[in-house]
Amino acid sequence: IQLKRDYNITGVITQGRNGCCPQWVTQYRILYGNDCQNLKVLDSGNGTEFSGNSDQDTMVTNMFKFPVAAKCIHIAPTNFYGQISMRVEILGCPLMTTVSPSTTPSLTTVFPPSTTGSVNVGMTTPALQKSFLPGACSANLMTTKSNLTTTVTSSSIKDKGSVLVSYQPDRAILNSQEETNKTTIRYMGGWSPEKSDTKQYIQVEFSDPTIIKGLVTQGKNGCCNKWVTKYKISYSSDCKTWNVSGGSSGQIFKANTDRDTPVTNILLCPTAVKCLRIQPEEWNNAIGMRFELIGCQIQNGGISASNLSSATTLANQVTVQPTSPSTVSSQATSSAVNSVSVTQQPLS
């Protein structure tokens, strides 16, 4: 299955063959990739095989341990009843898109409206995109006590080595205040880099893969009227190879207009990361910022379907490419899920 663009794929739904001839796939593997040539085998959580169907029409849903970014999904049956015959739906959402930012002086999490409009999700009919679930996967990851640990670093630090002031990355936690301790060290109300240019970033590394649902930013507290007005996001699964949100040119997130008002950007598609970077693009006076990340930890190698806040079926975004003699047809089922029916003939 080749999608028209990159998506975060969160799961699949399968059925057997409708009508005559009891045929269905009982086990299968999933491979994924960005170019449809170099595909990786997806871990099901219990090895490489996913459990499939046990009858013709019951829908079986397998949610992935965490979303994977892909343009191509390859479903490879490994066991079946009768003959290989299946119908498939892909679950996911566009890669790292956002709703308009919200500002509030008192809240640090803002959810988008409960209705998100209609999108074409089936082969024959449109359906309503699932809206965000308030409370799902919405912990404040930087400040909430948990067994998840975070390490905050940055490209550079203003006045690094000074014994009088501290602009260290740990000053970038949301709601940090400018203060002076008993030893007269002035702890600044935010992180600032050595110079203000677009090469600067602040980075968070998580102890475990983590779902990122949104970001909250503030400017620097205290003197000097410094805040970031626009930024980009980069993310990585290994903290070595980086992907820029929105593709090679990068998506611009609108941020702050003053020092202390929190501005929240909620991602329409949750993303699993090990490391995340915030890269200021524009600012007032100089770069100065505080932030919080909204999301949830992937526990025991997985995350429940209820914690993935958006799962949109993608059937209208696909091209089916049979790799062996088969008949391919678009078939609407009696259920709400519209599917691609692929009945593969034996090669004997």
Q: Concatenated DSSP letters for 305-346?
A: GGG----EE-GGGEE---SSSEEEEEEE-SSS-EEEEEEEPP
276 and 325, same structural domain? no
pLDDT at 199: 96
234 and 257, same structural domain? yes
143 and 260, same structural domain? yes
Q: Is residue 109 part of a domain?
A: no
Q: Is residue 124 part of a domain?
A: no
pLDDT at 267: 75
- Residue 251 DSSP one-character state: P
Domain that holds residue 284: 132-307
Q: Is residue 114 part of a domain?
A: no
pLDDT at 337: 26
Q: Which residues of 13-48 are buried (b: 16+ CB within 10 A; e: fewer)?
A: bbbbbbeeeebbbbebbbbbbeebeebeebebeeee
In terms of Cα–Cα distance, which of 202, 205, 204, 207 is closest to 190? 202
Q: Is residue 112 part of a domain?
A: no
315 and 303, same structural domain? no
pLDDT at 128: 24
303 and 331, same structural domain? no
295 and 193, same structural domain? yes
58 and 160, same structural domain? no
Q: Can you give the CATH number for the domain in which 260 is found?
A: 2.60.120.260
200 and 331, same structural domain? no
Q: Per-block average pLDDT, block size 10, for the chain (348 residues)?
A: 84 93 96 89 85 95 80 95 95 61 36 26 28 58 84 95 90 93 85 96 93 93 95 90 74 95 84 91 98 82 43 44 33 26 26
Q: Is residue 74 part of a domain?
A: yes
Q: Is residue 259 part of a domain?
A: yes
pLDDT at 136: 59
249 and 227, same structural domain? yes
Rg of the chain taking only CA atoms, in angstroms: 23
262 and 339, same structural domain? no
Question: Which is it for strands 186-187 and 165-166: parallel, antiparallel or unpaired?
Answer: parallel
Neighbours of 119 (CB within 10 A): 16
316 and 245, same structural domain? no
Among all chains, which residue has been given the structure tokens 């409009």? 117
**Total of domains in the chain:** 2
Is the overall model pTM greater than 0.75, yes or no? no
pLDDT at 120: 26
pLDDT at 85: 97
254 and 216, same structural domain? yes
How far apart CA 109 and CA 213 sit, in angstroms, is 10
How far apart CA 239 and CA 112 sit, in angstroms, is 30
pLDDT at 208: 86
pLDDT at 288: 97
- Alpha-helical regions (H) of the chain: none
